[in-house]
């Protein structure tokens, strides 16, 4: 197996260059082999190796067959127990999805649109007259977190704490490669998250509100209320999934639109394009580059024998530019039509919050471009995206008179 940091598949994918511009390494690895082995664990960064799955059809199969490639225990992010429903495989997975899917249905999400549109504008109000902003820090970071707190019925004053927890779990502040220190930070943060939601559930046990947590307290599966541990494991997943991926998605999309003013103008001139813009940029940018699995029983995928216990990294971003599935795969086409992208996964574990994410991103793009149609990245600005989940560390923009 290749251990050269310039050619080892996992090290290529998790390099800074790949995070900033992933298409070249995706293309390189797809051309080499759509299923391959790396000596480095792509998700964990640890030695021990991982099988990387990059081709669209292989990814689609892997995502739809959890009996072979399991989400159970595939990654630890400070949690004591499996996160529900992410780390629960069928058949138990289905009972949790039957409970939770209606809470994130297209109909229920549509009902949130008027309130969420107001929230978008309240965030824009904080910098609109200034003519410049750090899009990541001032818009993409607070907006989805504000949505999440409103959805769950948690106080907006807790936003700074939630954002710190998000960073501790997803991007702990440690020296590169110090996995032990990262694990310690995640474990300590996990204890804080569990304690916070213990208190929040206790408060709603005494007095219900109209938020999601109160509805979960009253929910039943097969005639039984959720246990306290089940409630905590759902809440833990919601905070991590709800606070990070939409921020990364907005960073990626607005970065692209800032660099492609002709494409941006199409959206400004015709806001009805926004659903297609969201789908195409989800495909082209794929903010969540990878997702982990563990082999549950031996299977051959492509030309590679996967053995029980192997770590597998599903490289969603590579599948989304696979020319065997997408015509002109590395061209953005808002009129693409059929778009079976894998940015939200596929199969039983397809993203629980995909309809919520679509709503958040669509409203953010519509209201941003209604109020700030012309913007650009200032000359000489330096910033980078994080590997794995492509979130910008900063994204300076100038607009109004300063954007010309």
* pLDDT in the model for residue 176: 80
Residue 2 domain flag:
no
Average pLDDT, the chain: 92
| Count of other CB atoms within 10 angstroms of residue 351 | 19
| Number of domains composing the chain | 1
Mean pLDDT of 199-224: 93
Nearest by Cα to 242 from 112, 104, 113 = 104
Nearest by Cα to 184 from 195, 197, 199, 169 = 169
The single-letter DSSP state of residue 88 is -
Find out whether 344 and 314 touch, Cβ atoms under 8 Å.
no
* pLDDT in the model for residue 4: 55
Q: Give the best-scoring range by mean pLDDT among 157-166, 178-187, 195-204, 237-246.
A: 195-204
DSSP string, 49-69: EEEEE-SHHHHHHHHT-TTTE
pLDDT above 50 (res 1): no
Q: Which residue has the tokens 């939601």?
A: 197
Residue range 342-363, pLDDT digits in tens? 999 999 999 999 999 999 999 9
Residue 3 domain flag:
no
| Count of other CB atoms within 10 angstroms of residue 261 | 14
Residue 30 has φ and ψ, to the nearest 5°, of -60, -40
Is residue 36 classed as helix, strand or coil in its secondary structure? strand
Distance CA 87, CA 62 (A): 15
Residue 152 domain flag:
yes
pLDDT above 80 (res 183): yes
Residue 1 domain flag:
no
* pLDDT in the model for residue 49: 66
Distance CA 180, CA 291 (A): 21
Residue 51 domain flag:
yes
Is residue 295 classed as helix, strand or coil in its secondary structure? strand
Mean pLDDT of 148-164: 90
The single-letter DSSP state of residue 78 is S
The single-letter DSSP state of residue 328 is T
- CATH number of the domain bearing residue 196: 1.10.630.10
Q: What does DSSP say about strands 47-53 and 311-315: parallel, antiparallel, or unpaired?
A: parallel
Residue range 292-336, pLDDT digits in tens? 999 999 999 988 999 999 999 999 999 999 999 999 999 999 999
> Model-level pTM?
0.93
Structure tokens at 68: 């072979």
Find out whether 349 and 69 touch, Cβ atoms under 8 Å.
no
**Residue 394: its H or E element:** none
Residue 211 domain flag:
yes
Provide the residue range defining the domain that includes 110. Answer: 9-75+83-403
Residue range 35-56, pLDDT digits in tens? 998 766 545 444 346 899 999 9
Structure tokens at 217: 């307290």
Nearest by Cα to 188 from 218, 208, 168, 216 = 168
* pLDDT in the model for residue 47: 39
* pLDDT in the model for residue 212: 93
Residue range 109-135, pLDDT digits in tens? 999 999 999 999 999 999 999 999 999
Confidence of residue 7 (pLDDT cuts 50, 70, 90): low
Q: How far apart are the first and last CA of the chain?
A: 51
Look at the alpha carbons of 129, 135, 136, 142 in this order and tell me if their dihedral is positive or negative.
positive
Nearest by Cα to 246 from 321, 356, 375, 341 = 356
Mean pLDDT of 61-86: 92
Nearest by Cα to 12 from 1, 28, 34 = 28
Residue 178 domain flag:
yes
Look at the alpha carbons of 223, 229, 233, 236 in this order and tell me if their dihedral is positive or negative.
positive
Residue 368: exposure state from Cβ atoms within 10 A (0-12, 13-18, ≥19): buried
Distance CA 107, CA 89 (A): 26
Q: ∠72-73-78 over CA atoms, to 5°?
A: 130
Residue 148 domain flag:
yes
Of residues 334 and 175, which shows the higher confidence score?
A: 334
């Amino acid at each position: 197996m290749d251990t050269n940091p310039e050619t080892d598949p996992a090290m290529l994918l998790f390099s800074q260059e790949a995070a900033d511009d992933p298409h070249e390494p995706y293309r390189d690895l797809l051309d080499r082999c759509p299923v391959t082995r790396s000596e480095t664990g792509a998700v964990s960064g640890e030695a021990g190796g991982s099988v990387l799955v990059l081709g669209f059809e292989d990814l689609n199969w892997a995502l739809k067959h959890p009996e072979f490639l399991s989400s159970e225990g595939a990654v630890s992010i400070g949690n004591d127990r499996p996160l529900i429903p992410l780390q629960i495989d069928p058949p138990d997975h289905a009972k949790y999805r039957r409970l939770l899917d209606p809470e994130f249905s297209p109909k229920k999400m549509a009902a949130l649109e008027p309130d969420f549109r107001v929230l978008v504008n309240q965030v824009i109000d904080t910098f609109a007259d200034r003519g410049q902003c750090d899009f990541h820090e001032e818009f993409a970071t607070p907006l989805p977190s504000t949505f999440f707190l409103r959805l769950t019925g948690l106080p907006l004053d807790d936003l700074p704490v939630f954002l710190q927890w998000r960073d501790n779990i997803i991007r702990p502040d440690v020296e590169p490669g110090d996995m032990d220190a990262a694990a310690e930070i995640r474990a300590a943060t996990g204890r804080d998250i569990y304690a916070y939601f213990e208190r929040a559930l206790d408060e709603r046990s005494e007095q219900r509100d109209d938020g999601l947590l109160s509805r979960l307290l009253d929910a039943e599966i097969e005639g039984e209320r959720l246990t306290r541990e089940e409630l905590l494991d759902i809440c833990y997943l919601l905070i991590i999934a709800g606070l990070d991926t939409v921020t990364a998605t907005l960073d990626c999309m607005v970065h692209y639109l800032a660099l492609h003013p002709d494409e941006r103008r199409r959206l400004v001139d015709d806001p009805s394009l926004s659903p297609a813009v969201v789908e195409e940029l989800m495909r082209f940018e794929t903010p969540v580059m990878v997702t982990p699995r563990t082999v549950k029983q031996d299977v051959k995928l492509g030309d590679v024998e996967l053995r029980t216990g192997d770590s597998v990294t599903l490289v969603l971003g590579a599948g989304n530019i696979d020319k065997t599935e997408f015509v002109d795969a590395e061209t953005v086409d808002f009129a693409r039509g059929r778009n079976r992208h894998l940015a939200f996964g596929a199969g039983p574990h397809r993203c629980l919050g995909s309809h919520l994410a679509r709503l958040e991103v669509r409203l953010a793009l519509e209201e941003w471009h209604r109020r700030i149609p012309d913007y650009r990245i200032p000359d000489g600005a330096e910033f980078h995206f994080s590997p794995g989940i492509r979130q910008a560390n900063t994204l300076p923009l100038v607009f109004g008179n300063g954007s010309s």
